[in-house]
Structure 1
Amino acid sequence: MDNVEKIKEGLEKAYKKMIEFKKYKNSPIIISKDGKVVEISPDTITTHNNAYS
């Protein structure tokens, strides 16, 4: 496994853990969309194996 694959795997794990934490705490995910700050409910996000492909 090269470094790029290790980085992708680490990012995927961090993403899944963040979603799980936000669902547990029932707190919104804050993102920037089209130059605006937007809150997203973590319940609307699904995780899958290739989040960063």
Structure 2
Amino acid sequence: MKEHKTTPTQEKVLEGMDKVYENLIEFKKKANSDLVVMENGKIIRIKPSTL
């Protein structure tokens, strides 16, 4: 299997996406609103109390 090396720019983008995800979870908890995601082609609502 071929290994894929990430560039420094790709690393920064991935780190930024992780930070955005953490901020989204924090916001949803504060606003007490459901997090809506798609899993296996189905829309799922996750309550903030389970995050």
- Provide TM-score, normalisation by structure 1: 0.73
Percent identity between matched residues is: 40
Could you tell me which of 27, 36, 52 is aligned with 2:42? 36
Q: CA deviation at 1:44?
A: 1.9
**Structure 2 residue aligned with 1:4:** 10
How far is 1:36 from its partner? Answer: 1.4
Query: Quick one: higher RCO (CA 8 Å, sep 6+), 1 or 2?
Result: 1
* Equivalenced residues, count: 45
Give 4+ residue runs of structure 1 displaced > 3 Å after superposition: none
Q: Which residue of 2 aligns with 1:17?
A: 23
Higher CA-based Rg: 2
